[in-house]
Each structure stands twice: as C-alpha cells, then as structure tokens.
Amino acid sequence: MTEPVKNEERKKVIFSAIQPSGTITLGNYLGALKNWIELQDNFNCIYALADLHTITVRQDPPTFRRHTLEAYALLLACGVDPKKSVFFIQSHVPTHAQLAWILDCYSQFGELQRMTQFKDKAAKHPDNVNAGLLTYPPLMAADILLYQADLVPVGVDQKQHLELTRTIAERFNGIYGQTFTVPDGYIPKQGAKIMSLQDPTRKMSKSDENANASIAVLDKPEDIMRKFKRAVTDSEACVRYGEGKDGVNNLMGIYACVTGKTNEEIEAEFDGKGYGDFKSAVGEAVAEHLRPIRERYEDYMKNRDYLEQCWGEGAEKACSISSRTLRKAMKKIGFLPPKSI
C-alpha cells in the first residue's frame, strides 16, 4: 500500500465508491469519505455510488431509491465537489456492467469463493447466495480499472478486493499487453477502522442491530452525545493508548480524526481526568464536526433539480472516460468493433 505522491505533471487518478445501502456511519466517514474530500485538491478524483453492488442483497425498491438519493446528497454535503471531481451513480454508466462481465471471464471461481466478504455474506443470507455475491469483486475491479486509477482509498475491509483487482489487471495485461493501470490501495493512517461503540473488537457497521453501537453522520447532536456517553471502555479509568484497551483506543482514534490531535496530546489533555469527561469531549467534538454536514445535507435534499443536474453531468463524464478503456479492452480480446476506427 503506497502513500499518494503529488505529481505536478500528470495528476494521479483516484477512484473510490461507496454503496448506498443505508445509513452512512462515522466509520464510513472517517475511514473513507474524509479522505475522499482531502484528496480532491491534489488528484484527479472519480467517485461513485456503487448501487449495482447493493442489489447483491435484496432491496425494497422505494427504500433503495431513497437511500441512493440520500447518499448522493450526503456525499455532496460531506464535501465531494462536482467541480473538482467526477461524482456519479454506477448504474447510470453502462460500461461498468459491461466490463464486469468481461472481467468475470478473467476471474477464477476458486479465488472469488475464497473472498472473506463472500463467505461472510453467504453465511449471513443463506437463502440468497446469488451469483452476484460471488462476482462482486470483478464488478469492483471494473469500477476501478475503467478509469485507469492509480490509487484507491478504502478501509481495511476492502483490501482483499483490491488485491484481487490487481491480480485481475495483471492477468489481463499479461495476456494482452498493457491495458489497465494496476492500482494501489490507499489506506489512511488514522480512522482506517472505526470500531463499534458497544463492542470495540468489531467494526462499526451500519447493519449493527444495537443502535448505540454506531454513529450515523446525520445523527442529532443529542444522540451522538448519548451514544458516546454509553460507549464501552474498561475499568482502568485512564485515558491512554494501549493493549487491551480497545474501547479507549477507538475513542482516541475518533477524537484524533476530528480534532487533528496526536495520541500524546490527547493523553496529556485528559491526564488525571475520568472517562466521563473524555467521552463527553469526544461526543462534542464529533457532533461539532458533523453539524455543518447535516445542515448542508438538508439544503441539498430540498434541491432535487440540482442533484439531478450533478449526477447527470457526472455520468456523462464517467461514460466518456470509461468508454475509452472498455473499447481498448474489447479490441484486445478480439471483439469485432461496430465500425472501424
């Protein structure tokens, strides 16, 4: 995994996507979105809502539509800027499904079956182990490879899929010659894995049944405060980073992300103070950090025309860039082109 390096001559291409599958959590925000925003100034960024990935788990149509609309507005509110970046909805750009089919044919059944996420989701939804759950990674590879992305910012849980993307790209390039850029992952130092507030050995997840375990980006300040006050810690009553202190480590990580403070600074700030003070401070800092996002979100949700214009323009740009890669890959494989170019 490499750090992004600024390159004055050719800006590196960043691609990332997030599923519009429900509540966007503080884990998504600190593990992924906050980095998306920061990267926009120095890189050529392309971001998507991966709605095709979402239907690997059965969705209720009106809820799915609403989640996609809300996620688009929320990402704009978080700071994804359509003037700086390309920001689109995956299902609006047909090249993704087209290249995904092609890449399915360059992915091995065994390697797809070994993916941790496939095994987890198959166990969680035994009544719907559909083929899309298995071929989820080649679709993700298509997302990335269509834009010749150099770097892919994701949380640690997506590392295995990214490695498979590299394998597929290298395999294709090995057969046909250089076609796809082989991307590197970019995993942020802080916030790469935000843990549940109720069980800090598990990651914070939008699907957690315990409502106190995760913070939604759109949670009200009073709910944020309450959830942090109830966060599981330990009996040492000392704010320090260390082994066996998963709860405190997680809270320190969150506090560091939203305040920019180091662990040493945080330890000094709470020296001699109890967990009550510490949890309130983390809650307040998070609530303050998220307040303007919630306000902007409400404005965007009142302006459907603007949202449609943004995703329309995003899809057009994404189509134009990705069609070039798709044509190139299809030509190499030997598909007869519709007209000679």
Task: Provide the binding-site residues for ligand AMP, judged by CB under 6 A.
Answer: 18-19, 27-28, 31-32, 154-155, 157-158, 192-194, 203-204, 206
Q: Is 158 in the site for ligand TRP (CB under 6 A)?
A: yes
- Active-site residue identified among 84, 206, 229, 328: 206
The span from the CA of 229 to the CA of 282, in Å, is 9
CA neighbor of 239 nearest in space, from 219, 266, 260, 212: 266
Is residue 203 flagged as an active site residue? yes
Kind of pairing, strands 86-89 and 44-49?
parallel
- Cβ distance to ligand AMP smaller for residue 54 or 325: 54
Q: Is 154 in the site for ligand TRP (CB under 6 A)?
A: yes
Neighbour-count burial of 341, counting CB atoms closer than 10 A to its CB (0-12 exposed, 13-18 middle, 19+ buried): exposed
Q: Supply the Cα-derived Rg of the chain in whole angstroms.
A: 21
DSSP letter, residue 195:
B
Structure token digits, residue 71: 């996620």
50 touches ligand TRP by CB under 6 A: yes
Write b or e for each residue in 238-247: b if 16 or more Cβ atoms lie within 10 A of its Cβ, otherwise e: bbeeeeebbb
- For ligand TRP, the binding residue among 140, 169, 187, 282 (CB under 6 A) is 140
Check binding of 321 to ligand TRP (CB under 6 A).
Answer: no
H or E stretch at 48: strand 44-49
Residue 73: name its binding partner from ligand TRP, ligand AMP, none (Cβ under 5 to 8 Å by kind). none
Helix axes 304-333, 159-176, angle to 10 degrees: 40
Residues in the chain, total: 341
Whether 6 sits among the annotated catalytic residues: the reply is no
Options 16, 23, 35, 44; binder of ligand TRP; rule CB under 6 A:
16
Inter-residue contact 223 to 230 (CB < 8 Å): no
> 140 touches which of ligand AMP, ligand TRP, none (CB within 5 to 8 A by kind)?
ligand TRP
- Give the shortest CB-196-to-ligand AMP separation in angstroms: 8
11 is catalytic: no
Contact in structure between 33 and 257 (CB atoms under 8 Å): no
Q: Is 19 in the site for ligand TRP (CB under 6 A)?
A: yes
Pick from 77, 152, 164, 282 the residue near ligand TRP by CB under 6 A.
Answer: 152
Q: Which does 31 bind (CB under 5 to 8 A by kind): ligand AMP, ligand TRP, none?
A: ligand AMP
Q: Which DSSP symbol is given to 196?
A: P
Which one, 99 or 197, has the nearer CB to ligand AMP?
A: 197
Q: Does 25 bind ligand TRP (CB under 6 A)?
A: no
Give the catalytic positions in this structure.
121, 203, 206
What does the binding site for ligand TRP look like in residue numbers (CB under 6 A)?
15-19, 50, 53, 140, 143-144, 152, 154, 158
